[in-house]
Amino acid sequence: MEAIIIDGKIVAEQLNARSAERVKKLMQRGIVPGLTAVLVGDNPASASYVRSKKKAAAAIGINSNVIELPENTAQGELDDIIDTLNADDRVHGYIVQLPLPSQLNVEKTIQRILPAKDADCFHPENVGLMTLGRPRFLPATPAGIIELLRAYNIQTSGAEVVILGRSDIVGRPLSIMLAQKAEMGNATVTVCHTRTKDWTRHTKNADILVSAVGRANTVTADMVKPGATVIDVGMNRIEDPTAKKGYRLVGDVDFAGVSQVAGAITPVPGGVGLMTVAMLLANTVTAAELTLAPSGILS
């Protein structure tokens, strides 16, 4: 039996519909949520991603803008842009699109972002709040993954979860969120990384397997427990002369093989990526709502 396809398009549309209702309520109080993306350089993948965010934001009533800066932008110039966004009341949330050119310091850039406008949830203050279980925002990709599991009634409580990859953006925060004492938590989580000796020994025990390593065909059918849920975070470009653009996008998972073993699986494209954008918009709406909360954290 082939796996159930976890459709990120459907779940993202549902989440965006809920965000749109929240935007309407804010507009009734004279607040138009504003999202800005700062794009440095001409990375094609980053530019495409930012365009998709702008389009999705406009569709639910968020005022969205993109600030494009040249590849050779100096740290001081970027800092000035961030300071301007921090002070602009029309901007409720913003992101600095990663990766950045090598002359720019990612850590210092993230720390300069005002935590209350940190739509990506990268600032150490927001990461700390998330870790303590009382988040201001949630990191977009991990939160999107959890929303997919919720939408398809995939139980995390008591589940064995294996995450491949320990990045600050996906693997590490997702491991914390799934292990927390929460409705979509209470899992036993194992994180595999470059120093893990035998990934397969862990993955074959996983009820839920998440791959976020950024390498095509990392996860094969022999690594997956029959009936497991497989979440593919990867987005890899591989050459394909039969494709119109000369390439196609694939995930970390050998979809054709793994879908014959897994109980449920996300496709690439059409899975986690759409949820990342939807969660970013939800965070932006939350940032706008926070302007009405004296404490700066919604109860």
Q: Name every residue whose Cβ is closer than 8 Å to that of residue 58 and which is 6 or more positions away in sequence.
A: 64
Q: Name every residue whose Cβ is closer than 8 Å to that of residue 216 and which is 6 or more positions away in sequence.
A: 234, 236, 238, 250, 251, 252
Q: At what angle are helices 8-27 and 140-151 packed, to 10 degrees?
A: 110
Task: Yes or no: say if 230 and 3 are a contact pair by the CB < 8 Å rule.
Answer: yes
Kindly name the residue from 118, 120, 207, 252 that is annotated as catalytic.
120
Distance CA 150, CA 153 (A): 5
At residue 249, φ and ψ (nearest 5 deg) are: -100, 135
Active-site residue 120, yes or no?
yes
Distance CA 116, CA 40 (A): 22
Please, which residues bridge with residue 4 across strands? 264
Q: Would you mind telling me the total number of residues written for the chain in this entry? A: 299
Active-site residue 108, yes or no?
no
Active-site residue 42, yes or no?
no
Kindly name the residue from 97, 207, 225, 252 that is annotated as catalytic.
97
Active site residues: 53, 97, 120
